[in-house]
Amino acid sequence: MKIFRTVFRRSAVRNDSGRSFHVLDPWEADRFYRDIHRGYDAVFQAGQARISLQPTKPLESSHLIPVSRLVRPKAFFVQFDGFTPPANSFEDFDSWAAAVDCGTHRDCRVLPHHMFSPSTDWQALETEDQRQAFEAAHGGPTHLHDEKSRPWNQTNAWHGNDTLEVARFDLPTGFHWDVVSARNTSRMSSLTSAWRFDGKAYLNISPDGFIRAGQSKGATATKEDEAPRPAPPEPATPSKRERDRARRERQRAQRRR
């Protein structure tokens, strides 16, 4: 079991009137999102954690999404209501884990939707009706384009040794998309960084949101900015019992000399 804790942060824009939010640190959010592609996971949430889709910019409510939207449909999600025992969800999780809901790497549920269509919350891509609506908006697997009209090309030149998993389906090792700029300059944000790619440059983007810079005919994608990494935790202060034990051990060591 892994526990991810939020930080309490205040909005930096005037339109939010100084509101504060419980936000998952960008690097924690990235680790969390990658983890759910490496096994079948249940995500249990207490409270209302949010994740920033623009981690290198000042905090703003319009850039925040709930955790449930990030993990959907790649993991089993439960929101604690304070009354229902968590154990009541275990049977539902077992049923979810026993099914393979995604039958191919070309399924639209494999996409990192917080990067592909950040302004749209696709809440029911497990249904045929919503998958058809998605294809009407963004094309099918061989002609896929995001909400900024950038092609997401599925290439056979796969990179890396990771075999990721979505909804109990194992993806081909190294599977990714080549994302091409629709204009002279395009930008893309992951959960931790902001990228720029010009002209013929492109990005390799994996289902878990990992970005690798692509290069073509001298044009290279570049990382413009990155969220600050959290400071390492301060060492724990020894308790009085621990200090007394250490003092006695020093005294015994001195007597033995």
Predicted confidence (pLDDT) per residue in 102-129, tens digit: 778 889 999 999 999 999 999 888 888 9
* Predicted pLDDT at 86: 75
* Predicted pLDDT at 208: 95
Q: 7: how many CB neighbours lie within 10 A of its CB?
A: 12
Query: pTM here?
Result: 0.82
User: Which residues of the chain are modeled with pLDDT < 50?
Assistant: none
First to last CA, the chain: 47
* Predicted pLDDT at 182: 66
The gap from C-alpha 160 to its chain's centroid, in whole angstroms, comes to: 19
* Contact of 158 with 152, CB cutoff 8 Å: no
**Residue 238: cis peptide before it, omega within 30 degrees of 0:** no
* Predicted pLDDT at 75: 86
* Contact of 43 with 36, CB cutoff 8 Å: yes
Describe the strand order of the beta sheet including 219-220 as a list of residue ranges. 152-154, 177-180, 202-205, 211-216, 219-220
* Predicted pLDDT at 137: 95
